[in-house]
Chains A and B, each alone.
Chain A
Amino acid sequence: MKGSTNKYLLIALLVGLAFHGTSIFFTLETTYDALIHLFFADHYANSWFEPWNYKWYTGFTVTSYPPLVHQSIGILSLIGGLKFGLFTVALLSIVLFITGVYRFSLLITANRTVAGYAAILAVFSSSFVETLHIFGQLPSIIGISILMHALPEIYLWLKTGKYRYLFTSLSLIAVTVTSHHVTPIFGMVFFIFPLIGMAIMDVSREQVSSIKEITFNVFLRSFLKLFKRIVGFGMSSLVIIIGCILPYWINSKNNPITQVPIPHGSRDNFLEITSSGLVFFLIPWGILLILLPYIYYRYYSKRYVFFGLSMTILFVLGTGGTTPIPRMVLGETAFNILTLDRFTLWGSIMSLPLFGEFVYRFSEGDLKQRIQSKFGGVYHRIIGGILAGLFIFMTVFTMSLGYFRPSQPQKIKMLPIVNFLNQDDHDKWRFLTLGFGDQMAWLSAQTNALSVDGNYHSARRLPELTTRPIERLENSKYKGVAGIGSLQQFLTTPEKYNLKYIFSNDKFYDPVLYFCGWQRLRQLENGIMVWERLNVKPIPAILPKDEIPKWQKILWGVIPFLTVIIAFMLNIQILWIRMLKTNLKTPPVYLAFKNTYASFSKNLLRVTHIWSIALAILVFYGIYLFYIKNDAQRSPENAIVAYYDALDFKEFEKAYALIDTKNNLSIAQYMLEISVTDGLLSSYAKLDNIHTIITRNSDSLVTAKVITDWITPLEKIHKEEYRTVIKRNGKWLLQHYDLDTDIPPDQLYASNTSRYFNQGRRRVTTEQTHHEDVLKQPVLEVLSAKLVQYDTHYAIVGEVQNLESVPADIVLKGTLYNDANKELATYNAKHHVKHKLMPKEVSSFRIDFEGIAWSKTKDSIPKAFNPDEFTPIEFEEQPTKFNLQVAGNVSGSDLYKEASLSAISIDSKTITGSVFNSGIEEITVPQLLITYYDKDKTLLWVDHLFIKEGIRQQRQQTFRYPLLKEASMRVVNDSMENIFVNGLPNEGISNKIVPDRIQNHTDAQLQKIEHPDYEYIKIEINSYIGNPN
């Protein structure tokens, strides 16, 4: 095909491989997608022909993603491991991309030098760098690269009508579709249609003497002439696209994506959310933005006019939610499913040939001459320097983005987790990771254990997940309350999913784990905390799966590689044979349509100049706005926002710089004060929203009402406080709060408590249950239980006591029935119970029946919601009976009971009081359980309050609890008939262990309140210790 080796292409390949080939080892594993592909590859490496994967989402099928790239990594992993496969395929993709751009550019420009320039530029183009090093979208890169390889073949088929080209182009389309399904579909529209247009244009050109003479009639005639070839190609490529990944299409039809759309940055309004604008618009376009006038000018010339149209559409679609156009063009559904960044990627790739052309003309062509003659040689060099500098800056900036703003948590050593799962049958249960980012895919690839979570959201099946706009449970804290809410459902009823172990890399989730009844097992050597839940059954030996016909499995396993082999034979082999045998070099026909590059348009140069200046002004204005907004001490608002942000991100030194230090507050003192505050708000909250109202504005003193919303793992906290901001030396500074000056009486004191240790297996054996080592399940007694209706909300409330001599972990599971004994709902107790009871301790409990949130009306998902928000289940029929199953298991952890209620005062609306910590641990999150009784001291309702601040040793913390609002309250059923403890009837236990129970023993000690519905309350304290000594 080539007469002599194109030295530019050679340089592009060498530099590209050296540059990307070395840097992928530092970037690829921290990208968003690479590890997911690795997980899929691991699947194929282990079961090539079985598309069902049990490891994620209680099972899903890998036919939901085109297999070629995954299978290639899988095959290569058999030689040198999964990562070897990944990097090899990545290197291949780099080569394919560079050569693809070269061939595409050659097709467009018909100039080898220009194509060579384009290839070199492609190596450093910011969109390619971003797609590879930040997003890690290997299939997408390979797809578009192969498509670019296919374009010349398609052109040749249309132009010459030789069947050889039809076959080569179809073979390449087949490879494209097996590596990425979206690329050929949209590529058809955005690349191939314009290409067809160009081919028709060229055919027309040959019939007339100059390009200007091509009229619509001539064009139409040429079109009719080529019609058969176009339709032939179109039809056969359609067959290829459908046929090659037929199981994918069948799966898409059978399991349509019916999930709530997951927000994606590429759909944001880029002017509002500037970070999305940066990542999905500025970076991929990069320096091309300056050249837009040139690119449009060239693409809207007659020959390329269809490319011009395509470019325009791609550009507009790529702007996401900035303008309403993409939403209108794509329609609501497609807009919410597609990630729009791909349009920008394609647009920028489509621009590459012309970028090459521009650079060619600028560095050695007519543009150089024009600039030099008009502005002089120095100007040309300066402009060249600026452009080159900007280009390289964009590349370096994009590469470094992953370093400065890591998209992933620190790399986690997986071996300790893999070992843990392999030990002691831990992989007989499902696990969940928290705060792992996309590294969870890498963990899943390395272990046989199954997870309830997953990292490929299109394949999710559980309604608990598909009804939430979250990608993974794993990073639910970033998804606001929808995420936490979804996570809470999994944490509350883990036995439904056989979920027993949680690996937590983020302390943020600790309180919710504790209050949902989980306990810490131990910290692994890589710092990951393992949490476990008792009373969860192992995964059944046989799991359900969606079987697909054998022919589909074979098709899925065989076709992708077959397409590669065929494409290889057709494209490379034939080429070689031809060259060796005949040594004949006929240049491809598209090389006939050369551009002269004789004189660069004056107007275009002018427009480009104006455009560049406008762009520069825009950029500087943007930077100025950014500065104004972020200069922390320019205005009191900025100072407050910066201070709270600094606190949110725990940048205490930065926060200290914003504090007025006139009253001798040293940084040491400030840090000390910070270090002694613990609690839900200061240790586990993420700032969600901040709003300041400046109540008075004197020149140097301002009092601001600061309204903040914080998301904590347990609930949303709304806080309003006044801060005084002072201007000193032109800088706004916040006044520091007064510290609680309380001094505890004892310097050193002792506390005696019983601690427990369960040996587990006393003998080192893999025997499953050595009966001597099995502890007796603690006997519990349900003292009272009733089904009540509070407003529209059904719940089972009551009290449970641990009768055993050992501490117990308790799990309460309630089921509701109607009169016809039809089961209506089942759920576990969440926050409203002390999950760990000492011997003879009593806890009130409430079991709520949560529905799967928003599963009914998808459109009514609130925009901002609250972790504590409760979606009562919608009952089709009235629940009238209930069944309560209580299970006890011996547990020695989280038994801190040394919190006292030290003061209380009650008015008609609120209870205020304080909790005193008399023990030797710091209480991180104190919880009050408030039980309401009527005038006959009958238990009616259980409520809770999380105290926002922690309580240090021998100190008090005040609380304020608003009493329950008036609402209809009805006891539906108070029969104690269907209550079972460890599977045995409650009544029998009661009679055996406490035959002479003093009924309603502590009723005399209930607290009286003034409330229209209730007469008495009882307050119990449950404490979460974040850092046990």
Chain B
Amino acid sequence: MHVLLAILSGILFAAGVWLILRRSLARLVLGLILLSQAANLVIFTSGGLHRAAPPIVGENATALEAPYADPLPQALILTAIVISFGLFAFFLVLIKRAHQETGTDDIDAMSEVET
């Protein structure tokens, strides 16, 4: 399972890098989104993969019963997802505005507009 997920995150990284090397801004955003998913997958994998109960304390219990899954990597990923949601939302607005202003989706052409 570890190997499979490692390969999968490798593929995601490769695809993300390929996309951000394009000149089109829309692909740039897609590439960054793929990369952030790959990063999340790496955290998930390195947090350890094994079958275990969810880390929720039962109705009448006071402590967790082992074996339970480590909740921290998931908390990290959740936070990272929330943050990248915010960032990408901003980024999309930026690209839309940039496209409106400069009339191009091409980063090089956009730099030429710059005086």
* A and B part of one assembly: no
A→B interface (CB under 8 Å): none
B→A interface (CB under 8 Å): none
